[in-house]
Amino acid sequence: MSTAPIEFLKGHGTENDFVIIPDHDGRLELSPAAVARLCDRRAGLGADGVLRVVRSAAHPEARAMAGEAEWFMDYRNSDGSVAEMCGNGVRVFARYLQHAGLVGEGDLAVATRAGIRRAHIAKPGPDGQPGDVTVSMGRAALPEGEVTVTVDGRSWPARNVNMGNPHAVAFVDDLAHAGKLFDAPAVTPASAYPEGVNVEFVVDRGPRHVALRVHERGSGETRSCGTGACAVMVAAARRDGADPAVLGHPVTYTVDVLGGRLVISELPDGTVEMTGPAVIVAEGVLDASWAARVLA
Ligand X SMILES: N[C@H](CCC[C@H](N)C(=O)O)C(=O)O
Residue stretches of the annotated binding site for substrate:
16, 77, 87-88, 165, 198, 216-217, 226-227
Question: In this complex, which beta carbon is closest to ligand X, that of residue 66 or of residue 79?
Answer: 79
Q: Is 230 a catalytic residue?
A: no
Residue among 86, 103, 161, 234 flagged as catalytic: 86
Listed ranges 2-10, 86-94, 140-148, 278-286: which one lies at the site for ligand X (CB under 6 A): 86-94
> Are 18 and 50 a contacting pair, CB within 8 Å?
yes
d(CA 21, CA 50): 7
Residues 10 to 49 in contact with ligand X, rule: CB under 6 A: 16
| Binding of ligand X by 87 (CB under 6 A) | yes
For the question of residue 86 being annotated catalytic, the response is yes
Q: Which stretch binds ligand X (CB under 6 A): 59-67, 85-93, 117-125, 254-262?
A: 85-93
Cβ atoms of residues 40 and 30 within 8 Å:
no
Q: Give a three-class secondary structure readout of 128-189.
A: CCCCCEEEEEEECECCCCCEEEEECCEEEEEEEEECCCEEEEEECCCHHHHCCCCCCCEEEC
Nearer to ligand X, 199 or 291 (CB): 199
Shortest distance (Å) from residue 50 CB to ligand X: 11
Residues 197-236: x where in contact with ligand X by CB under 6 A, - otherwise, as a string? -x-----------------xxxx-----xxx---------
* Rounded distance between C-alpha atoms, residue 82 and residue 65, angstroms: 19
Which letter, b or e, does each residue of 90-110 get, where b requires 16 or more Cβ atoms within 10 Å of its Cβ? bbbbbbbbbbeeebeeeebbb
DSSP 102: S
Interface with ligand X (CB under 6 A): 16, 77, 83, 86-89, 165, 198, 216-219, 225-227
Catalytic residues: 86, 225
